[in-house]
Each structure stands twice: as structure tokens, then as C-alpha cells.
Amino acid sequence: MAKTVLITGGASGIGLMLGQKYAKAGERVVLVDCNREALDAAVAELGDCADRVLGVCADVRDYSQVCGARDRAVAAFGSIDILISCAGGAERRICRVPGEFHEAPIEVYDFGIDLNLKGALYFDHAVMAQMAKQKSGVIVHLGSITGEEGSRDNISYAASKSALMNGMTKSIALAGAKYNVRCFCVAPGPVKTRPGADKMTTLIGRAAETEEIADYIMYLASEKGSFVNGSYHLIDGGRSVMWNKEFY
């Protein structure tokens, strides 16, 4: 039986790749993104799967819009079986704010927390209500190697990813256990979703292909990964063990 997969940040990057792969595998897919133009293009690209793909334009920072996306998914497909929170990004890169940490307006860091942490929390909260009714579900957080390493510039991003990878993933797993809902986090290293990723060194000597991250998430979210719960999983080409990166 086909499953319903809701993916935030579904119009680009890892989220888009996941949407494409799930749709082509015969699952029902809900792509959520705040960029209407990119979202429409992503849905149009999956024209052959149009009967099982829904695009919802919503801002993950707005809880009412989050609930609206959940309700549209359930109305269209009757369930939400897998939630994957891909929406996010480095706040100063997105806002195009240069300079030192203390020179950036505090609103930039508020934006980073709202996007990268509260956005995932909002969707977890809204979708857990549906999964509790179903008594089943999988919730996937997208972490980052930056949550391990920290960041001099994008401090909200680093703090949010660290929180997702540890306290939030464990806590959502605890909250969902009685409803047969499991939660885990996948934390990629450098991924070829943006310019400059190849400049980040790894032991393997390259950044990940987007498909490599998507395949790993799909495996863990499937029945083959059914014993994975409350944990985070690095997929970083060995970057996390490079204690002195200047030698690589």
C-alpha cells in the first residue's frame, strides 16, 4: 500500500530529490515550500506522477500555515506516514549579511532559529497529531555536520542543527513511542546542493551527491530501518574525524 510522504523544503536540494524518488517509487508525495515558483516547477517536473503529488506553498515559521499543509495532505491522501523536515539553511547566507557575528542584526539569528529549529518543531507537533490517530508514522529530521563542528558565522544554524540531532530527535522519539511513531535524524556533511560545497574537505575527498543522502534517508525511513529510533546518523564522508583539517 502506498504511503504518504510530506517533505518540507521540497522544491530544492535534498527535499526535491526525495520527492522525486518517492514519487517514482509509487508513494504519495506532498512537497511543502515557501517558494511558489520553485514549488510549481518541482510539481510540474513530476507530471507523470501528478495523481500522487501535491504541492503546498507554506512557511514553516508560521504554525497556522504548517497546520494548513498537514490538513491539505490528509484531505488529499488520507494519512501522513513519513514526515521529512528538509527546510532550512545558514541564516547569514540566506539573508546575505556579511561581517562578524556581533555585527549582524539580531533579527538574522531569530530568523535562523525560526527556520531551522522551530520550523521542524512546528511540523513535528502538527503531524504528530495525525500520526497519533493513525498509531503509526516516521519523523525524520535533517541535521548537519555543522551541528557537530559549530560555525563562526551561522551560529543559529549550528545551534539549531545540534538541537535537532540530539535533544529534539530523542524527545520526539519518546513522545511518539506510545503511538508507534519513531523519529531519527540524518546529518549530512558537504553536499553538492550549493556552490562551494566541494571546498569543504572530507576523508573521501569530495562532497556527497544529493542522491546519496536521499537514499540513506529512504532506507532508514523504510521497514528495513524499523529498529532505528531516537538517534542521529552522520553521513559525512569522514569529515567528523578530521580533527586537524589543514592537513587534508
State the catalytic residues.
157
User: Residue 61 in contact with residue 107, Cβ under 8 Å?
Assistant: no
Measured CA to CA, the distance from residue 28 to residue 38 in angstroms comes to 19
Please name which of 25, 4, 17 lies closest in space to residue 186, comparing C-alpha atoms. 17
Checking 94-102 for CB contacts under 8 A at 24+ apart, the result is 101/152, 101/153, 101/155
Could you give the dihedral angle defined by the CA atoms of residues 49, 13, 142 and 105, in that order, rounded to the nearest 10 degrees?
-130
Burial (Cβ within 10 Å: 0-12, 13-18, ≥19) of residue 142: buried
Measured CA to CA, the distance from residue 179 to residue 3 in angstroms comes to 17
> Which phi and psi (to 5°) does residue 89 adopt?
160, 165
